[in-house]
């Protein structure tokens, strides 16, 4: 064990909860639930392993929020009924028994829906075919379909879905919820200029494109009260467009993070390809912009593999917490390995071949033993 404690191993408070360290597991799509949206048999051990491995916080894969247009992937889990709640309760209990905290990431697919057992076709801000192709790692095939343009009544149902899912997350034992506003999914589709061509109060200027975020956060807070943590995730790039940048750059970041902070979020989670890289030419990283303008705790994600990279982000005050994705998949015990100065394993994409589910990952690990 090291004599000097790294910054990442210091405790940190997000409002009314204390994380034992600054290390979080990032949301990672695993398509390992059951057809009815309940958690699959491999998921309890998967999430518990991160808590046992020393992570202070675990953020779940994206969980769909309603039985309308929100489901994105085949074998994705939901928080829409009591059966799904009960299945997640088994996981939250396991994480808590191993000393961890766990937040539910609440997600609506929008136009990027690859599978929906409830509606079939996706719904989105505008009837615009998404860029790129469906993701084969998550049972996708071919081009995305043109989604239905959501009516204002549909948008109200979206907000209601997030609220109901947050209430059920609290019932399921989650310590907080993260509103997924990133990576090209529904909320990000409202924020993105080329996927939102609306002419009503949800389209046009940035204030309108952020309206759905504000309505969801405000409604969720009113529903779950002050005791539950609420965060929101932002990115510029998307799963189907890694190059996108906010059009007014730092000015957009300033307005976005200030506006979201005023809604009462407890933290902002940013994800970029490289967390420490400038968000725009000659600008601060996106996480640091969130810290400067949001004035709330910030979780940074993107390309973080080693201890020094994580410490640098926090020591430079670019973030308060770091979340690990692929590095955590390769090393569910990353914090324990680093603290005991053992060798970290490199991520291997074979863990996702042919499907990025837990069955494939388990088979890979067995082959490498």
Tell me the two tokens of residue 191: 């924020």
Rounded distance between C-alpha atoms, residue 278 and residue 288, angstroms: 9
Question: Of residues 185, 202, 244, 267, which has the active-site annotation?
Answer: 185
Q: What is the mean pLDDT of the chain?
A: 96
On the question of pLDDT at 241 being above 60, the answer is yes
Confidence of residue 143 (pLDDT cuts 50, 70, 90): very high
Residue with tokens 């100065």: 341
C-alpha dist (Å) from residue 279 to 200, 273, 275: 29, 10, 9
- DSSP for 34-52 reads -TTSPPPTTHHHHHHHHHH
Summarised one tens digit per residue, pLDDT across range 41-89 is 999 999 999 999 999 999 999 999 999 999 999 999 999 999 999 999 9
Among residues 310, 332, 343, 316, the alpha carbon closest in space to that of 21 is found at 310
Question: What number of residues does the chain have?
Answer: 369
On the question of pLDDT at 1 being above 60, the answer is no
- Neighbouring CB atoms inside 10 A of 185's CB total 24
Summarised one tens digit per residue, pLDDT across range 286-295 is 999 999 999 9
Confidence of residue 148 (pLDDT cuts 50, 70, 90): very high
What pLDDT score does 368 carry?
74
Confidence of residue 34 (pLDDT cuts 50, 70, 90): very high
Mean pLDDT of 103-119: 97
Summarised one tens digit per residue, pLDDT across range 255-279 is 999 999 999 999 999 999 999 999 9
Q: What percentage of the chain carries pLDDT values higher than 90? A: 96
What pLDDT score does 3 carry?
46
Q: Show the CA angle centred on residue 319, arms to residues 307 and 352, nearest 5°.
A: 55
Among residues 335, 202, 178, 138, the alpha carbon closest in space to that of 271 is found at 178
- Listed in sequence order, the residues at least 6 apart from 290 whose beta carbon sits closer than 8 Å to its beta carbon are 234, 253, 257, 268, 270, 298
On the question of pLDDT at 209 being above 90, the answer is yes
Rounded distance between C-alpha atoms, residue 347 and residue 86, angstroms: 32
On the question of pLDDT at 2 being above 90, the answer is no
Judged by average pLDDT, the poorest of 25-29, 183-187, 212-216, 365-369 is 365-369
Rounded distance between C-alpha atoms, residue 289 and residue 295, angstroms: 10
Judge whether 185 counts as a catalytic residue.
yes
- Listed in sequence order, the residues at least 6 apart from 60 whose beta carbon sits closer than 8 Å to its beta carbon are 27, 47, 102, 103, 104, 105
């Amino acid at each position: 064990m090291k004599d000097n404690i790294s910054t990442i191993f210091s405790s940190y408070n997000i409002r009314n909860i204390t994380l034992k360290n600054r290390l979080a597991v990032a949301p990672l799509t695993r398509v390992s639930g059951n057809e009815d949206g309940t958690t699959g048999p491999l998921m309890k051990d998967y999430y518990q392993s991160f808590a046992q491995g020393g992570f202070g916080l675990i953020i779940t894969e994206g969980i769909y929020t309603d039985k309308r247009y929100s489901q994105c992937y085949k074998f994705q889990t939901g928080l829409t009924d009591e059966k799904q709640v009960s299945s997640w309760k088994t996981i939250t209990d396991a994480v808590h028994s191993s000393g961890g905290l766990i937040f539910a990431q609440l997600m609506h697919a929008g136009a990027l829906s690859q599978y929906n057992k409830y509606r079939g076709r996706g719904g989105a801000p505008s009837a615009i075919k998404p860029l790129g192709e469906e993701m084969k790692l998550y049972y996708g095939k071919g081009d995305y379909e043109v989604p239905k343009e959501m009516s204002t009544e549909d948008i109200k149902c979206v907000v209601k879905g997030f609220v109901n899912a947050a209430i059920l997350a609290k019932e399921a034992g989650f310590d907080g919820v993260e509103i997924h506003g990133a990576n090209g999914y529904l909320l990000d589709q409202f924020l993105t200029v080329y996927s939102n061509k609306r002419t009503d109060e949800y389209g046009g200027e940035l204030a309108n494109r952020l309206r759905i975020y504000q309505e969801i956060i405000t409604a969720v807070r009113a529903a779950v009260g002050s005791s539950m943590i609420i965060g929101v995730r932002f990115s510029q790039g998307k799963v189907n467009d890694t190059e996108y940048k906010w059009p007014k750059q730092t000015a957009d970041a300033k307005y976005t993070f200030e506006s979201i902070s005023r809604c009462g979020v407890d933290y902002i989670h940013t994800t970029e390809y490289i967390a420490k890289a400038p968000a725009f030419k000659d600008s601060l990283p996106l996480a640091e912009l969130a810290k400067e303008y949001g004035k709330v705790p910030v979780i940074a994600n993107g390309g973080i593999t080693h201890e020094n990279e994580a410490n640098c982000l926090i020591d430079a005050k670019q973030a308060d917490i770091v979340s690990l994705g692929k590095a955590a998949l390769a090393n569910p015990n990353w914090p324990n390995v680093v603290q005991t100065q053992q060798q970290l394993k490199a991520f291997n994409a074979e863990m996702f071949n042919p499907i990025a589910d837990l069955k494939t990952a388990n088979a890979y690990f067995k082959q490498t033993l």
